[in-house]
Amino acid sequence: MIRFLQKPGPVKKFVLGGILVIVSLTMVTYLVPGGFGDYLRGDITTQGVIAKVGDQEIAIQQVSQQARLMGKQQFRGNIPEGLMPYLMQRAAQSMITEKAMVYEADKMGLSASDDELRDYLHQGQFGQVLFPSGNFIGQPAYEQFIESNFNLTVQQFEQEVKAEIAQRKLLATVGAAVTVSDKDITEEVKKQQSKVKFDYAVLTLDDVKKSINPSQAELKAFYEQSKQQYVNSIPEKRKAKYIFIATKDVADKVQITPEEVQAYYKQHQDDYRIPESVTVRHILIKTPTPDANGKVDQKAVDAARAKAEDIEKQVKAGGNFAELAKKYSEDPGSAPNGGLLTGLRKGQTVPEFEQAAFNTPPGQTTGIIRTTYGFHIIHVESKQEPRLKPLDEVKGEIEPALKQQKAAAEAQSVASAIETLSRTDGVDKAAKEKNLNVYTTDFITQSDQLPGVGAAPEVVNAIFTAKKMDPAALATSPAGYVIYQVVDVQPAQTPTFEQAKDKVETQFKNQRAQTLLAQKTQQLADRAHAEHDLAAAAKEVGATVKTSDLVDRSAQVPDLGAMSGSTSVAFTMKAGEISGPIQAGTNGVVLKILELQEPTPEQLKQGWDKAKDALLDQKRQEFEGLYVENLRDRLEKEGKIKINKKEMEHMTEGS
């Protein structure tokens, strides 16, 4: 892969930015408006295959892998129980749609080339990870990145990226025909740049809540009506006793001999080898990338070369290389540091740069070097020959590592022996025999910490899984080992009214306040319209009247929040007009427009391009969504997409 990434050549800038492949799969989901059942058409019956698009099969195993990847990213690896069938459905639909788009892109001659793949991986998030400061992270790190983030081979990953590029090219092609009218653009500019000033009467939820004083009878009735939500709301509690073997205490007694350090060093010498490296300063003058048709702006290339040649003359004339790099270099990662790149190893940069850096003696400066990034001038600061770190240099690293390993093994051995003794003689007797402490908890919940142990969710979970008076068992905590026994269990309980009274009262007030707030806000609006006087109506219902500044849709107004929310209705009203009831967060509001300021002809002109781009993006998304929906429908009717009904239904059932 590294040679592939380093290979120079023309690239087409169809793909903007590098986003993770999972986004491409979840992206196409929103483009399919229909539900899961809409696509249960087709006639394939191959076991283990969910669908076939063209000659490409989608296996259940692939769908499962993709679903777990989606779950891992969305839930940080802790996929909720019962959610996998849903994730499988979404992954299946995403993969079918993706294959359909790639199939159509191939037919239209829009397949992704190796050059486009290379360009994509140099950009955006991928470029930041794989090519920090323009230097490739190396093949092992590249493979590890793919494995840990996508659970794919390099070949599979690059195929997925090519599929992503092909989809984007297809959507760019079909979206190119979208246009917007001047009238629509004018309305959009007015929408974005209009400003409004208004009076607003506010009723707050907290103020309404203060007026609610429920009786004991009302609270009891509310409790009975909503009793189901309180069932077992007092969580299960457990009491346990345990012995704690702290790894740290064992480590304090562990001794490491020189012979052990020597043996470890010999067995792990490869870990202490330092490869050949070079420290350089460089100045980069970038060259333009090819356009969508693969053409390069030769005038811009010539201008970049001329600039590089001028800088080269300044270097040869005795100019300070670091200062020249700060002034002229277009590499944002190194320019602020005078173009400094430290500890470069072979395989981290493109071949032309690497060859020049490693073949130039320290203290020397190269001529102009051309790479896919542009024109470089390189000054070699120093070179580090490959070497093996001597034992004396790494002894301080080895001893703590060995001590930790030895302590962990010793602690585990001690814990296992005590567990065996505890299972036969009981925890108390085992602790006494080994001169150890026995901890006994009060009744604890599953979110509590264990005295003497600290945060140990694995141990607490084990305690809440065991049965009362089961034989002692061993659990591991971050700080060591715990030999525990559950001595009592207090089951989850449904609280009585008295126990739940405070919670019941809070919920009663919240619910009643929401209803009263809506009623009072409606009353406020009705009175304001009837009297044509917002201030008078506000006084009648006890609302507070305030006046806004002249604001646009991006503004935040006290008590109302963002003007892009429900209060954006103000921008559709006329001066002197009074709004209906508005819910602004937890407040009830009624507005009266004082002034509406529309953009001037000059402002319309200035905002024209931005509004046009925003409308085009919106319409392209809508058009692309319809296109993908129709594409899937057409390909199914043509028999290019075939669904395995049996496997799809089996997957839906989650079995």
What are the pLDDT digits (tens) for 622-632?
898 899 999 99
Short-list 538, 615, 588, 571, CA closest to 209: 588
Token pair of 178, please? Answer: 């979208």
Residue 476: what are its φ and ψ, rounded to 5°?
-100, 135
- DSSP letters for 70-108: HHHHHHTT-PPTT-HHHHHHHHHHHHHHHHHHHHHHHHT
Token pair of 73, please? Answer: 């990213």
Tens digits of per-residue pLDDT, 403-418?
888 888 899 999 999 9
Overall average pLDDT of the 17-43 stretch? 38
d(CA 69, CA 148): 10
Let me know if 496 is exposed, middle or buried by CB neighbors in 10 A (0-12, 13-18, 19+).
exposed
Going by pLDDT thresholds of 50, 70 and 90, the confidence category of residue 25 is very low
Tens digits of per-residue pLDDT, 158-207?
888 888 888 888 888 888 888 899 999 988 888 888 999 999 999 999 99
Question: Has residue 38 got a pLDDT over 70?
Answer: no
Overall average pLDDT of the 325-342 stretch? 92
Tens digits of per-residue pLDDT, 255-297?
899 999 999 999 998 888 889 999 999 999 999 877 656 677 8
Please provide the size of the chain in residues: 655
Question: Has residue 34 got a pLDDT over 50?
Answer: no
Q: What percent of the chain has pLDDT over 90?
A: 52
Give the residue, 195 or 25, on which the prediction is more confident: 195
pLDDT given for residue 653 in this prediction: 67
Going by pLDDT thresholds of 50, 70 and 90, the confidence category of residue 654 is low
d(CA 349, CA 225): 70
Find the angle CA(390)-CA(395)-CA(396) to the nearest 5 degrees: 130
d(CA 472, CA 474): 7
Going by pLDDT thresholds of 50, 70 and 90, the confidence category of residue 651 is confident
Quick check: do 237-254+393-490 and 276-385 share a fold? yes
Question: Has residue 126 got a pLDDT over 60?
Answer: yes
d(CA 13, CA 286): 16
Q: Which of 77-91, 172-186, 212-226 has the highest mean pLDDT?
A: 212-226
Topology of domain 237-254+393-490, CATH: Chitinase A; domain 3 (3.10.50)
Question: Has residue 18 got a pLDDT over 50?
Answer: no
pTM given for the model: 0.50
Overall average pLDDT of the 216-242 stretch? 93
Topology of domain 276-385, CATH: Chitinase A; domain 3 (3.10.50)
Tens digits of per-residue pLDDT, 366-376?
999 998 889 99
CATH number assigned to the domain covering 2-177+624-652: 1.10.4030
Short-list 280, 282, 286, 281, CA closest to 375: 286
Question: Has residue 19 got a pLDDT over 80?
Answer: no
644 three-class SS: coil
d(CA 173, CA 166): 11
Overall average pLDDT of the 19-23 stretch? 34
8-state DSSP, 213: -
pLDDT given for residue 549 in this prediction: 96
Going by pLDDT thresholds of 50, 70 and 90, the confidence category of residue 31 is very low
Do 521 and 581 touch, CB atoms closer than 8 A? yes
Residue 431: what are its φ and ψ, rounded to 5°?
-65, -40
Do 655 and 84 touch, CB atoms closer than 8 A? no
Question: Has residue 24 got a pLDDT over 70?
Answer: no
pLDDT given for residue 35 in this prediction: 39
Q: Which H/E stretch holds residue 130?
A: helix 124-130
Q: Which H/E stretch holds residue 298?
A: helix 298-316
Overall average pLDDT of the 229-241 stretch? 93
Going by pLDDT thresholds of 50, 70 and 90, the confidence category of residue 649 is confident
Question: Has residue 42 got a pLDDT over 50?
Answer: no
Tens digits of per-residue pLDDT, 529-546?
999 999 999 999 999 999
Question: Has residue 39 got a pLDDT over 70?
Answer: no
156-171 in b/e form (b: 16+ CB < 10 A) is: ebbbbbbbbbbbbbbb
Residue corresponding to tokens 């009837």: 530
Distant-in-sequence, close-in-space partners of 336: CB < 8 Å, separation ≥ 6: 326
Question: Has residue 244 got a pLDDT over 50?
Answer: yes
Find the angle CA(529)-CA(532)-CA(535) to the nearest 5 degrees: 100
Do 635 and 41 touch, CB atoms closer than 8 A? no
Give me the residue spans of the domains in the chain: 2-177+624-652, 195-229+498-597, 237-254+393-490, 276-385
